[in-house]
Amino acid sequence: MTTTTGRTMPGGAGATRARPARLLCSLLIGLALLALAVVASVTFGSHPTSFADVLGVLNGTADANTTTVVESRYPRTALGLLAGLCLAVAGTLMQGITRNPLADPGMLGITAGASAGIVTATAFLGVSGQWGTVWWALPGALLAGVLVHLIGSAGSGAGLVRLVLAGAVVTSVLTAYVQAVTLGLPKVFDSYRYWVVGALGGRDFEVLLSVLPLAAAGLLLAVLLSSALNALALGDESAAALGANPAALRIGGLAAATLLSAAATAAVGPIAFVGLAVPHIVRALAGVDFRAQIAFSALVGPALLLLADVAGRLVLRPQELMVGVVTAFLGAPALLLAVRRMKGGT
């Protein structure tokens, strides 16, 4: 596993704690950015509208056509908020617990598990439509996450390195299965290819409601563990001396990351780089305190995902570029910057 020096390690002892005044200023900026992203998401799209049109819809003075257009953007905005929050918080937990600045939710096999669930349901059970897709993506993602945890924690050599290797193995096997089925059954591929890119459009509030309990459980667990995870950042021996159980904290944190990742992936498909890039931004704003990191992740993640979705709607208007493609383009520089920060690591 990649490790870093205390200066660059996520949550490492060499990092600095942000001052209260700086935290408050950053929090206000984050709230403003999130509000701007929400307004932009309901204002801009393939059909030109303005902020005045949105206000008209809200106060009931807009015409029927404008009202339909603006209201059709509400579900994708809500999904962007939920998915961005889930992926960002999951990435923050992953990087903090594993002390690997390149860790992201895909490390747990969540994406591959959701893909396998969708392909299985489409190919062998005749499931179709967004509602059926979500219900089969969720168990696929959760089962893959549980399998990775079981393999990674089994035997005397259990540890973070073994967890990463287990995630790689499960992902490889499930990816091979998905490719075999989709290549052999073209109709399955036609249904699967839209989901696998990652998009906020084409979904309604039913999708959000179906994954909301899972997301809420993961976020609640992350918040409850946030204080104790600060002790884990000091090292296992220091955490134990402070009365914490390092193994239990890692299991709880990874379980929270699994729930959050599964909810986001099932709802909108695999969205690249959000879980990787946002934690780096958050640590620069919030310092090493996990409580502050989770709070900032809940603001920055949704804001960046919504702004990426808006950019995808505008760049090829009247066509749309799926948000998964946009985040991949934007996330590549973030990955390069993360690698550069690791130059001093071993």
The pLDDT tens digits of the residues spanning 279-313 come to 988 888 888 888 999 999 999 999 999 999 999 99
Beta pairing partners, 287: 17
Q: Which domain holds residue 257?
A: 20-326+335-341
5 within domain boundaries: no
Q: Say if 13 falls within a structural domain.
A: no
What dihedral do alpha carbons 112, 115, 116, 118 form, nearest 10°?
Answer: 160
Residue 344 scores a pLDDT above 70: no
Q: Please report the pLDDT score of residue 188 as a whole number.
A: 81
Band of the pLDDT at 1, cuts 50, 70, 90?
A: very low
Q: How confident is the model at residue 70 (pLDDT cuts 50, 70, 90)?
A: very high
CB-CB contact of 297 with 279 (8 Å): yes
Dihedral of CA atoms 14, 293, 278, 316 in degrees, nearest 10, equals -160
Residue pair 94/307 in contact by the 8 Å Cβ criterion: no
In a domain, 174, yes or no: yes
Residue 322 belongs to a domain: yes
Burial of 28 (0-12, 13-18, 19+ CB in 10 A): exposed
Span 108-143, pLDDT tens digits: 888 899 889 888 988 888 776 666 677 788 888 889
**Amino acid residing at 93:** L
Instruction: Look at residue 158 in the predicted model and tell me its pLDDT.
Output: 52
Lowest mean pLDDT among 92-96, 106-110, 330-334: 330-334
Any idea what the CATH number is for the domain that residue 194 is in?
1.10.3470.10
Q: Is residue 212 part of a domain?
A: yes
Per-residue model confidence as pLDDT tens digits over 184-224: 888 788 778 777 888 898 888 988 998 999 999 999 999 99
pTM metric for this prediction: 0.86
Number of domains the chain contains: 1
Does residue 8 sit within a domain? Answer: no
pLDDT in tens, 242-275: 777 888 888 898 889 989 998 998 889 889 889 8
In a domain, 159, yes or no: yes
Residue 7 placed within a domain: no
Query: Can you say whether residue 99 is alpha, beta or left, with left for phi > 0 and alpha for psi between -120 and 50 degrees?
Result: left
